Amino acid sequence: MCVCQTMEVGQYGKNASRAGDRGVLLEPFIHQVGGHSSMMRYDDHTVCKPLISREQRFYESLPPEMKEFTPEYKGVVSVCFEGDSDGYINLVAYPYVESETVEQDDTPEREQPRRKHSRRSLHRSGSGSDHKEEKASLSLETSESSQEAKSPKVELHSHSEVPFQMLDGNSGLSSEKISHNPWSLRCHKQQLSRMRSESKDRKLYKFLLLENVVHHFKYPCVLDLKMGTRQHGDDASAEKAARQMRKCEQSTSATLGVRVCGMQAGVDHVILAVSYMSQVLEKEMKAQEQRLGIRISMSHEEEPLGTAGPLALARDLLSETADPFFVLNSDVICDFPFQAMVQFHRHHGQEGSILVTKVEEPSKYGVVVCEADTGRIHRFVEKPQVFVSNKINAGMYILSPAVLRRIQLQPTSIEKEVFPIMAKEGQLYAMELQGFWMDIGQPKDFLTGMCLFLQSLRQKHPERLYSGPGIVGNVLVDPSARIGQNCSIGPNVSLGPGVVVEDGVCIRRCTVLRDARIRSHSWLESCIVGWRCRVGQWVRMENVTVLGEDVIVNDELYLNGASVLPHKSIGESVPEPRIIM
């Protein structure tokens, strides 16, 4: 189970962090949802971004009639790296002077920019700080040649942490109210990496100043849209033109003339209900917490608590704010309509909203009976033999904190014990999902979901898929995995970190998890191979065979639909599907 809390974004200090001509400290603009250049906050009313000559000419030659539809153009500033006495590296903006150059020796003569309200800076790896830090650390991925580059005062290490400081006491905001947009952090990291790779000597960069059009909104809703059926310019290279045309063909650009490239969803805290192998998940979530710039908490179940009990276990975390929270079943994949569901929940104003989806054979499921116009739920019917509804629970909810009063800290089913009472009291509404949905709770469905995910990568991020000798179709391979000679891998295969595939192996429609080894000349189809498993030579496994953690399969065996629990050693063939305990 996954619980997501919605984000409350506060307002920064009224003035920029500046003092006369001592420069302005820049920080990532937290509402950026698209683009590849980093958008920086200059002050409450102004943002800045790296200067593109064509964009500058556009703003400077804009007809007066169009200015009311565009952000106000405020000119150009010079931006550079600067280190301070605490060991932080900052991006600082100074007034732009035509043909201005700065030598390295000039830096000590400048006074340090003053911080009046906020501080979000790049810190050297290993340095300490007296300030509270939000650990949204980022690695600056740079080329080998750029690793020699240094800023004037402080070396910018290629794998240094990048903690962004909390606002200080002058801001009037608690740390829980501040969060970081993951796309903004990603763009900021890439921007720093690019600037660093170019800064072998002291260098100033030109940035545009533009009006911050969301400054007067407390909860801005930001969309990044691509308009039109063509996104490449006449001067684009053949490769770029082909790439842009492919994106248009595979999206709503071709059918509607517009596509959504980015959206501010507003989730800043994720709570995971975990039990088995929680330490592995916790390690991975720490990395994701830093990458996404959000808070991820673990709620550990010592015993199974059903689908509602984990909410009672996480009551203290969920009660930190009065905001509603999402509840997601982790065995479901779909087009998650977060924004639409928040709007739906606020519109009806009751305690709970659930997502429903239509199915062709409702007799296999528990169905939801609700009003067609309002979505108010009347009742739930388990596997009806006569038609009453074709809508089923899609495993995504948004609940108000008041729901927590209904749940005791004991094994409880939210679907059978909590929701029916809420429906009877008129407190539960259903919103119908218009997009894709799939239950991946069973191994065969998990493999199908993996295939759909790989196909999605093919359409949206083909560069992430692996290619090479013996690779067939969509294959995802971790950089640390090793593949031997004369292998046939794919279609629809995922190889995790540290996986070793020896010579002559054939793998199709399989997931092979971390540190597993497949010995030479084995044949695997429709299998899930767990962490640190060892599959011997000349083994054949098929028909949704699942190996738990640390399973050993001896040489020359046949496994047909076997489900093997962790830490087992298989010494004989399994010709018929069964569970091995």
Active site members = 383
CA distance 146 to 228: 38
> What is 271-312 written as a DSSP string?
EEEE-TTHHHHHHHHHHHHHHHTSEEEEEE-SS--BTTHHHH
d(CA 329, CA 335): 14
Residue 472 CB burial class (10 angstroms; 0-12, 13-18, ≥19): middle
Secondary structure (3-state) at 418: helix
Contact 156, 163 (CB under 8 A): no
Q: Identify whether the C-beta of residue 390 lies closer than 8 Å to the C-beta of residue 367.
A: yes
Q: CA-to-CA distance for 123 and 373, rounded, in angstroms?
A: 54
C-alpha of 534 from chain center: 32
CB atoms within 10 A of CB 572: 8
Q: Is 577 left (phi over 0), alpha (psi -120 to 50) or beta?
A: beta
Lay out the sheet containing 517-518: strands in order across.
Answer: 482-483, 500-501, 517-518, 534-535, 552-553, 569-570
The Cα–Cα gap between 270 and 165 comes to 21
Max CA pair span of the chain? 84
Residue type, 151: S
